[in-house]
Structure 1
C-alpha cells in the first residue's frame, strides 16, 4: 500500500459537524525522500523506498551513507519500503509529502511500537481479578497469579499460560483510522482515535 513515514505528535480532540467531540491523534507525516525505486526487472518486485528525518553523517554506517549519497540526499533516521506506489512516476531524490498520498476522508492503517510497560504481573498484564475474586487459586495474596499446576498428569505447565512477563514494546497496527484534517504547510495529519507509541515515536501510515 502507498504510505508515508511520520512521527507521533500527541492527542487532542475536535468537534465534528454534528457537534460531537472526537478524540484524535496528530502526526507529523513527512516530508519523505525517495531513497530507492525497486523494479520487477532488477529486484523481482516493485516498491518505493522512503527515508524520513535527517541523521548525522558521523552516526551513519558507510554502506548506508553510500546508499543515501547515491539518492542525492542526506542520511535518514528511518527507511521503509511501500508497495503499490506508481514506481515509474518516482525517481531517487524525489520528495513525497502528505498531499501526494492522502486526501480528507481516507482511511489509513498505522503501524508503530507500543509503549513498553516493563515486567508486569498478571493483574495488569492479563486482567486477573486478584484477591477480590476466588478464581485463580490464591486466597490471601492480592495480585498474585495463584496455582498454575495441573496435577500429576500432565505434570507440566502448558505453553502460553497467562503469567507475569514483559508487557508492551510490541509492533502494533491500528486499522481504519479516518483522516479528518490535513495541514500541508506544517506537514501535519490528524486521524481519529489513538495510535501505538509514545510522543515523538515513529509510525508508518499506509493507505
Structure 2
C-alpha cells in the first residue's frame, strides 16, 4: 500500500471560501489586457519577415525596374506634318511638339510620399488667375507662375534634378523612343455604333427607324433581369487619358524648343502632352544632366549675349 501524503499544499480551498466573480467582470478584464503577439501573426509585417505580395512595398519593388531613369517634359501639340526621305522615297507622318518654358517645380520622395517623382510646370499664367495657395507654392521654390503642372515618375533619387532647373528640347535625342501621354479629343455624347463599333440592326425585314439604336440591354430571368455592369451603351466619348508608346524622335530643335515624333499622338491641337523615355525600349545611354540646366545658367547666357 502506498504511503499517505501528510501535507495538502496543492489542494483547493473550500468553495465557500472563494469569492464569487461575475462572468462579465472576467470578460472585461480579458478585453483590457494587451493582445499577446505570437510568432505566427495574422500578417507577416514584422522585422525580418518576407514582404507581402499585396502590400504597397511589394508593388513599388515590382514597378521599380520599369521606372524611367530621368524626368520627362511637357509639350504643346502644334499639329502634324511629314518628313520626306529622298534616299528611300518614303513620306513619314510626324507630329510637331513644342516645349514652353518647361521647368522643375518640386520633388516627390520615397520616404515622405511613397514614390520618386519630379513635378514639372510649363507655360505662364497671370497672377490674378492663380489662387493664393498656388502662388505660395511657386513662391516657396522661387519659380515663375506656371499654367500646367504634372508629375513624372523616376526610378530613384538620381533622377531628381535641382528645383528650378529648365528643361530644354535636347533632353531627347534623335533616334530614341519615347512614350507620349495625353487626353484624347472629346467627341461629346455619341451613339453605340460610333463609340463601340456596333454593326447596327438589319436594314430591312420589318426594321423601322431602329437601324442605329441599341437592341436589348440584357436578358430576362436567366441573367437576373438586370443590366450587367460594363454593358456597352451610348454615352460620352473621348476626353480620357491615353498613352502612345514607342514613338521615334525624328527631329530636335533646341533653339525653338521643338521635338518632332513619328506618328500621331492623342489630343487636339494646343493640348498639353507628357513626353518621357519609353519603358519598352532600352534606356538612352546619355548623361542625366543633358537637357536640364540650372535656373541661373540660361539667364546668364542671355545677359552675356546682349
Aligned residue number for residue 163 of structure 2: 92
Q: Which has a greater percent of strand?
A: 1
The structure whose RCO (Cα within 8 Å, separation 6+) is larger is 1
Task: Tell me the matched-pair count.
Answer: 202
Question: Mind listing any 5+ residue stretches in structure 1 that lack a counterpart?
Answer: none
Alignment of 1:28-47 (within 5 A): 28-40=98-110, 43-47=113-117
Alpha-carbon distance change, 139 to 105 in structure 1, aligned in 2, over 3 angstroms: same
**Are the aligned partners of 1:115 and 1:198 in contact in 2 as well (CA < 8 Å)?**
yes
Cα RMSD over matched residues?
2.1
Partner SS, residue 153 of structure 1: helix
The answer to whether structure 1 residue 22 and structure 2 residue 68 are counterparts is no
Distance in 1 separating the partners of 2:226 and 2:109: 52
Partner SS, residue 123 of structure 1: helix
Alpha-carbon distance change, 139 to 33 in structure 1, aligned in 2, over 3 angstroms: same
Distance in 2 separating the partners of 1:146 and 1:83: 44
Distance in 2 separating the partners of 1:69 and 1:105: 38
Q: CA deviation at 1:48?
A: 2.4
**Are the aligned partners of 2:218 and 2:228 in contact in 1 as well (CA < 8 Å)?**
no
Q: Deviations over 1:55-83 (max 9, x none)?
A: 11111111211111122221111112223
TM-score by length of 2: 0.61
Moved over 6 A (4+): none
Distance in 2 separating the partners of 1:40 and 1:149: 47
The answer to whether structure 1 residue 13 and structure 2 residue 82 are counterparts is yes
TM-score by length of 1: 0.88
Distance in 1 separating the partners of 2:230 and 2:122: 38
Question: Mind listing any 5+ residue stretches in structure 2 that lack a counterpart?
Answer: 1-67, 278-306
**Are the aligned partners of 1:34 and 1:71 in contact in 2 as well (CA < 8 Å)?**
no
